[in-house]
Every structure is written in structure tokens, then in C-alpha cells.
């Protein structure tokens, strides 16, 4: 009986992974919202107001991110960068360049993760 339990645990641990929990369409909808919100934050001219909004936004988790291949970490890092850089009430030209680069990196990560999700769904 003891060996049967060990054998069953072995079988369970070696079963194929479940299919992804979301469809590509759901992923596209979620990531489109993430990109729109991120772009809006990045382009907002009122940096003082933006700081409070982003802090509240991140705290409330108003937009959820379902990670496929590391894109949620990049999204979180992007928001944190905006929070840190907006503390003094303005963005320097160098900070704005860094924001654009981080946003482009986020878009690439989302595109790559979408491709991974498509493969998992097939």
C-alpha cells in the first residue's frame, strides 16, 4: 500500500501541464489595457498629479497583469520607475528617454509573451 501511494504521487507529478488559463484574446485585451494606461501615464504633462495617481493606481492594482513570460515584472518595474522619477514633480529629459525605452521594452515583452501563449494554446 505504501508503494502504491508513492507510485500515484509519481504519476501525478509527471502529468502534462494544464492548458493556459487564458486565451490569446483575453491576453490581448488585458495587455492592450496595460499598454494604454502605461502610455497615458508616460505622456501626462502634470507630473505632480501623476505621482499621486500612479501610487494609488499601483496600490489598488486596478489593472491586473497575468504573467506568461515575465512581462508583468517589466510592467511593475515601469510603473515603479514612473513613481520614483515623478517624486520631484517633473521629469528630466534623460528620465523621459528612459521611460520611452522601458515602455518599448514592455511592448516587446508583451509581444514575445503573446507568442509563447499562442504556442501553449495550440
pTM for the model: 0.79
Q: What is the pLDDT of residue 118?
A: 92
Minimal CA–CA distance to 31: which of 56, 68, 77?
Answer: 68
Q: What is the pLDDT of residue 61?
A: 81
Q: What is the pLDDT of residue 1?
A: 53
Q: What is the pLDDT of residue 4?
A: 46
**Dihedral pair phi/psi, residue 66, rounded to 5°:** -95, 110
Residues in the chain where the model's pLDDT stays below 70? 1-20
Amino acid at each position: 500500500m505504501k508503494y502504491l501511494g508513492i507510485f500515484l504521487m509519481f504519476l501525478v507529478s509527471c502529468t502534462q501541464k494544464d492548458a493556459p488559463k487564458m486565451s490569446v484574446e483575453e491576453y490581448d485585451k488585458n495587455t492592450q489595457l496595460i499598454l494604454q494606461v502605461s502610455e497615458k501615464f508616460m505622456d501626462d504633462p502634470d507630473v505632480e498629479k501623476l505621482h499621486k495617481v500612479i501610487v494609488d493606481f499601483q496600490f489598488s492594482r486596478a489593472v491586473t497583469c497575468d504573467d506568461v513570460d515575465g512581462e508583468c515584472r517589466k510592467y511593475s518595474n515601469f510603473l515603479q520607475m514612473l513613481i520614483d522619477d515623478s517624486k520631484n514633480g517633473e521629469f528630466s529629459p534623460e528620465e523621459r528617454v528612459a521611460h520611452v525605452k522601458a515602455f518599448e521594452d514592455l511592448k516587446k515583452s508583451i509581444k514575445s509573451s503573446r507568442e509563447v501563449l499562442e504556442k501553449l494554446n495550440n
